[in-house]
Structure 1
Amino acid sequence: MECPECDGERRPFAVPSDLRENVPFRSDTVLLCTRCLAFEPTDDETELANYATISDELPDDPNTAAAMALATAFLSSLALHRQHIDALFDYVEANGVDPLLVLDRLADDPELQPNFDIESRRQQLLQLRD
């Protein structure tokens, strides 16, 4: 499925049940562009993708990778999704992964081309979390 934002590939990803309370749309599935990270809730559950297909820089644990990928996608609108990002980052940290370090690595991933600057949003988020 083609992304309307960047013509990249959008795939359906399952939102793990323990993360659904931390996403604004409470959906079981999200369509997520593997290039620009544009997302939308969906009911499409055919051939659910693995979050590791987005970037090798995501954590190995599937649920932690899902939390990190969703939190990164939500950075597109930090003001609207801050509470969700904070909750997802807390989840990632509770699983032994530093979400800010992962953001650093994602910012350097040449395959990702979000419509926002990951590094700038990381800095803004760091200021807000202090």
Structure 2
Amino acid sequence: MYSCDCDTTPISFAVPTSLRAYAPDEADAAAICPRCLRVEPVADTDTTDDVAFDRLSSSFPTGEAGVALALAIGLCASLATNRSALEDALEAVERAGADPLLALDRLLAEPSVEPAIDLERRRHQLEQLLYG
């Protein structure tokens, strides 16, 4: 069960086998809160085939790129611990055809998004991971 304290319904999604190493508890399903962006594992029965990532932002990637970006956001809670996994997850976003930094910038511009962690500060560190 998702335990976020925000008064909003989380966005649940299945985690493909190729991305499970980046999921919390290596779960086969996870959810992201559209307000605080907390990512937590959920029961696989909570997911649907039509993931509503547009509830985060109309420019949030869809499909595997969206799943990889959501998981990368979850990994941002601890850059030191998750550095390698985060780098791999961001590269998975790129391989799936999306620009992770641009998507993150657009997400942070959404007025309804209030990240639980300082993603604006982490964005610079993410850029260094990708291109540094």
TM-score normalised by length of structure 1: 0.81
Residue 107 of structure 2: aligned partner:
106
SS at match of 2:88: helix
Contact 2:2-2:41 within 8 A present in 1 as well: no
Contact 2:57-2:106 within 8 A present in 1 as well: no
Aligned residue pairs, count = 129
Using the TM superposition, name which of 93-102 and 39-48 deviates more: 39-48
Contact 1:9-1:35 within 8 A present in 2 as well: no
| Superposition RMSD in Å | 2.3
Residue 73 of structure 2: aligned partner:
72
Aligned-pair CA distance for 1:27: 0.9
Aligned-pair CA distance for 1:46: 3.1
Within 2, Cα distance between the matches of 1:126 and 1:39? 21
Residue 55 of structure 2: aligned partner:
53
Deviation string, structure 1 residues 11-53 (Cα, Å, up to 9, x no partner): 4321122211333522111132121111221225135361333
Give runs of aligned pairs for residues 1-130 of structure 1, distance below 5 A: 3-48=3-48, 50=51, 51-60=53-62, 62-129=63-130, 130=132
Amino acid across the alignment from 1:45? T
Within 1, Cα distance between the matches of 2:33 and 2:54? 13
Contact 1:13-1:31 within 8 A present in 2 as well: yes
Aligned-pair CA distance for 1:8: 2.9
Deviation beyond 4 Å, 4+ runs, structure 1: none
Structure 1 residues not aligned, in runs of 5+: none
TM-score normalised by length of structure 2: 0.80
Within 1, Cα distance between the matches of 2:47 and 2:128? 39
Structure 2 residues not aligned, in runs of 5+: none
Amino acid across the alignment from 1:25? D
